[in-house]
Amino acid sequence: MIHRNGAIPAPGRSGGIALMTTRPKEAARLTILREAAGVSRRELADRLNTSYQQIHRLETGERKLSPDWIRRIARVIGVREEALLSDGPVVDAFLAGAPSGGVSARSATGATLLPVFGRGGRSCEGMLRLDGDAVQYIDRPRSLDRAPAAYAVFVHDTSMEPRYSPGQVVLVNPARPVTPGCYVVARFPGADGVTLGAVRRLVAQAEGVVLTETLNPLVRYRDAEDMVAALHRVVGALDV
């Protein structure tokens, strides 16, 4: 029997009738973007300091995606907050962007391409501008083939020597968890919607505070967590 509202009745545990419900669009979108970022439910739960069951409820629509959940999840999986509420192309959801045609775009050598950001010098108190179009594309390392949100950033100065030097690009995978002691691209919201960033080492992240540092000279930065748009893990470097 089909009810007038179009729902198909299913037997409930008590022998009554339970109506099948439609999964909310934003819940389905969360699953799609999480999987595209290469993050498991368990990993997302760990990085949000919540339970696996909570993530399951968010992805099935049992719990509503509040603005706070959207902000926190977007930061972890490296997507724009509004992307969790839209149904646009998945590749456009990621903060780093991707070459036209998505991550399957290829160079003349047959390798897939990785977008590089930050060319053009430093600005706004020593930070790079990371939004807008990629300024260059390089062959994507095979280790990042399954990381659609991955990107690279130019190293412009000696502030991270001896770890990273001018003339290199650092490889960034937003889907990898960050831990104290790892190297990151710290991203900050700038004026007029501009995204700024800097390569640093993560010292600690706790109690609403993010501590990062440069190496040369050793300078420590203390930022309120809500002033840091994202911390994306550096997973390597290349000479270009």
Give the tens place of pLDDT for each residue, 7-63. 333 334 434 433 334 567 888 888 888 877 767 888 888 878 888 899 999 999 999
The reply to whether 72 and 124 lie within a common domain is no
Instruction: Read off the CATH number of the domain in which 46 is found.
Output: 1.10.260.40
Give the tens place of pLDDT for each residue, 114-153. 888 885 555 445 678 776 667 788 888 888 888 878 889 9
- Domain edge (last residue) among 92, 123, 146: 92
Mean pLDDT in residue range 146-164:
89
Mean pLDDT, the chain, integer = 78
Domain carrying residue 216: 102-239
Lowest mean pLDDT among 48-57, 69-78, 84-93, 130-139: 84-93
- 196 domain-assigned: yes
The reply to whether 156 and 215 lie within a common domain is yes
pTM score: 0.60
The reply to whether 175 and 75 lie within a common domain is no
Number of domains in the chain: 2
Q: How far apart are CA 141 and CA 154, in angstroms?
A: 16
